[in-house]
Amino acid sequence: MRLNFERNDQVLMLKILKDSERLVIFRLGKFLRTAGPGMVVLIPMIDRGHKFDLRPMKMQVEAHNQIIDVEFKIDDPLKRALTMIGEENENQNLKAIVTQYLDNYKQARGSVLRLQASSTFNQEILQEINENFSPKGISIIKFSSR
């Protein structure tokens, strides 16, 4: 929700964030603070806010003729905001990184991607992937094949 109001030639913008949302606020291009949940006051044209949902999200990645569901969540909104600067579509970039990692994993191991009977990658692979995604503020919760 977004509200604008004027008072004595001052313009402010209010954003209301849900329990699972955080807003990373930059003032004139420099990090100011992370806010949320609740009501946040921004100064238009001075403050810029990037809103992130901290709930687990899913996306589909196609790798090696398999469709793999990747469940992930944003752990650190500030790291995510700083690493996505200049990205047009954050999920598209995330898909490309996951696909590249799975390709590299297959080449390094020289084997086809195999899912366990529980249809998830083993914890070792998940730990390796999370080490790569940790600087980006994201953690992968699980992989599953269709």
Same domain, 19 and 46: yes
pTM, two decimals, is 0.74
Do the Cβ atoms of 59 and 73 come closer than 8 Å?
Answer: no
Strands 21-27 and 47-53: antiparallel
75-105 residue pLDDT tens:
999 998 888 776 666 677 778 877 887 777 7
2-11, 62-71, 81-90: least confidently modelled range: 2-11
Which helix (H) or strand (E) element contains residue 13? strand 10-17
Same domain, 65 and 27: no
Q: What is the pLDDT of residue 120?
A: 46
Determine the Cα–Cα distance for residues 1 and 111; give it in Å rounded to an integer.
49
Q: Which of 86, 88, 54, 90 is nearest to 72 (CA)?
A: 54
Same domain, 114 and 70: yes
Do the Cβ atoms of 126 and 143 come closer than 8 Å?
Answer: yes
Beta bridge partners of 15: 2, 40
What's the CATH code of the domain at 79?
3.30.479
Domain extent for 132 = 57-145
The mean predicted confidence, pLDDT, of the chain is 80
Amino acid (one-letter) located at 58: K
